Chain A
């Protein structure tokens, strides 16, 4: 009997520990150039605020592929989880604040590796490769209102993820 109550006591402790662990907010970083915080978990949802590369967000809950987060400025909203990484993004390469010995699991250096310097070096060595149209096509951006209109006019009803 005594042994049994001990078992229940241990189990209760574990449940409490697990609850505390599970309820703790998790921090994630924005890993895209231009992120968007939206009012609802949908790309057609109203834009609350833009998010910057490297912004650290507190994840409050998850719903499907979307995370409800609090942005650095305190605003809350939804962001698609593919825009986030669990790594901490250190923004400035060469900065003294980069902790030594930190593993790749924990942080990533923004601008590390293949970056604009490498691209410039590549361009210098391959002068026949022209980036003019790459820059032009990157400027073509479709607003979510235009997407919504396009879907509605075409009589397309997304099964998932498209409701505003």
Chain B
């Protein structure tokens, strides 16, 4: 999406009309709306502006009030909880390749910049699984990597997990109302460092939030809609990056062969690959991905014997 520069915008007659309507409501309103929206969208109608401003204020008091810095701390504890259940696969070469791939892919996502950045780690388990903690800490099992027969397919898996991060699916799993109580405590504390009792209250909400997210990720799974959203996000990233998105379909076909119905991991927490493939084929078609020799070589070297 190309946003016009301010100088170009000033020539658009439409903005004059917008300015007129906004000025009727007082020029301070115009500044407020302008500051919030002018630079982000270039131009919105008065009605849209008022409505956006109003809903922005309402959301502000819920999970949107979680700054990227707070999202980072939530993500760290979520990842630590996952890593208390699954052992990391401590192989430097494989993890370096995974990060080279994942961090590059993240640059082409909707949110390339998070507070602490994207970092990836392999998990030492045969179970087919992957976890994306808020803020960009992503963990992929050896079993999951075995579902991928090429770099392109592994990129598809990573793009799906990165989309969970950019769409803030983890944060959205926090039970409604939980954050409101923390925000009340924080509101009372204003800018001061939290005292013992207040710190205890906030930690309690923090613990609850971590538990909401990890139980969703590890036991219950996200909703089908949420998973399809992440698949769509993955397709968008792959197209932007120049990898063929059909690799996501071929990866899912392999996963389908490996997943045991009623089994652990993905089988338990995700819609069946079959259902996801059917949805994806509407988006990407069925043209097979041409395999690049250079990519296949480096994939085999690092992940071939995983």
Task: Please list the residues of chain A having a beta carbon within 8 angstroms of any beta carbon in chain B.
Answer: 10-11, 14-15, 17-19, 21-23, 26, 31-35, 43, 53, 59, 61-65, 80, 82-83, 85-86, 90, 93-95, 98, 100, 104-105, 108-119, 121-122, 125-126, 128-131, 133-134, 137-138, 140-142, 146-147, 150-151, 153-162
Near A by CB (< 8 A), chain B positions 250-300 give 292, 294-295, 298
Which B residues are CB-close (under 8 A) to A85? 67-68
Which B residues are CB-close (under 8 A) to A155? 292, 294-295
Smallest CB-CB separation from B95: which chain A residue? A140
Interface string of B55-92 (1 = CB under 8 A from A): 01100110001111110111011011101100010000
Which A-B residue pairs are the 8 nearest by beta carbons? A98-B191, A19-B10, A83-B113, A114-B70, A121-B203, A18-B19, A142-B103, A82-B113
Tell me the complex Cα distance, A17–B18, Å.
Answer: 11
Q: A19-B10, A140-B99 are in contact. Are A118 and B191 (CB under 8 A)?
A: no
Interface string of B136-163 (1 = CB under 8 A from A): 0100000000000001000000000000
Q: A21-B19, A21-B30, A21-B34 are in contact. Are A34 and B117 (CB under 8 A)?
A: yes
Which B residues are CB-close (under 8 A) to A18? 10, 15-16, 18-19
Q: A18-B19, A122-B206, A131-B80 are in contact. Are A116 and B73 (CB under 8 A)?
A: yes
Q: A64-B1, A113-B70, A121-B199 are in contact. Are A154 and B294 (CB under 8 A)?
A: yes
Which B residues are CB-close (under 8 A) to A153? 294, 298
Which B residues are CB-close (under 8 A) to A116? 73
Asked if B39 lies at the interface with its beta carbon under 8 angstroms from chain A, I say yes
Count how many chain B residues have C-beta atoms less than 8 Å from C-beta atoms of the other chain. Answer: 92
Smallest CB-CB separation from A35: which chain B residue? B113
Asked if B111 lies at the interface with its beta carbon under 8 angstroms from chain A, I say yes
Which A residues are CB-close (under 8 A) to B121? 133, 137
Which B residues are CB-close (under 8 A) to A90? 191
* B239–chain A nearest beta-carbon distance, Å: 7
* B168–chain A nearest beta-carbon distance, Å: 12
Smallest CB-CB separation from B114: which chain A residue? A32
| 27 contacting pairs across A/B (C-beta < 8 A) | A10-B20, A14-B23, A18-B16, A18-B19, A19-B11, A32-B117, A61-B5, A64-B3, A86-B36, A94-B191, A95-B191, A105-B56, A105-B57, A113-B202, A114-B202, A114-B206, A117-B194, A117-B199, A121-B199, A133-B88, A137-B137, A138-B116, A147-B103, A154-B295, A155-B295, A156-B243, A158-B241
Contact A32 B119 (CB under 8 A): no
* A68–chain B nearest beta-carbon distance, Å: 9
Contact A115 B298 (CB under 8 A): no
Tell me the complex Cα distance, A100–B192, Å.
Answer: 11
Tell me the complex Cα distance, A110–B70, Å.
Answer: 9
Asked if B176 lies at the interface with its beta carbon under 8 angstroms from chain A, I say no
Task: Please list the residues of chain B having a beta carbon within 8 angstroms of any beta carbon in chain A.
Answer: 1-3, 5-7, 9-11, 13, 15-16, 18-20, 23, 30-31, 34-36, 38-40, 56-57, 60-61, 65-70, 72-74, 76-77, 79-81, 83-84, 88, 95-96, 99-101, 103-104, 107-108, 110-117, 119-121, 137, 151, 182-183, 186, 190-194, 199-200, 202-203, 206-207, 209-210, 239-243, 292, 294-295, 298
Which B residues are CB-close (under 8 A) to A105? 36, 56-57, 60
Q: A90-B191, A121-B199 are in contact. Are A160 and B9 (CB under 8 A)?
A: no
Which B residues are CB-close (under 8 A) to A117? 193-194, 199
Smallest CB-CB separation from B71: which chain A residue? A114
Contact B73 A118 (CB under 8 A): yes
Contact B60 A118 (CB under 8 A): no
Which B residues are CB-close (under 8 A) to A113? 66-67, 70, 182-183, 186, 202
Return the contact of A130 from the options B61, B83, B115, B200 (Cβ within 8 A). Answer: B83
Which A residues are CB-close (under 8 A) to B6? 22-23, 61
Tell me the complex Cα distance, A132–B100, Å.
Answer: 21
Which A residues are CB-close (under 8 A) to B9? 22
Which B residues are CB-close (under 8 A) to A14? 16, 19-20, 23
Q: A21-B38, A161-B240 are in contact. Are A104 and B60 (CB under 8 A)?
A: yes
Which B residues are CB-close (under 8 A) to A161? 107-108, 240
Smallest CB-CB separation from B185: which chain A residue? A113
Contact A160 B240 (CB under 8 A): yes
Which A residues are CB-close (under 8 A) to B202? 113-114, 118
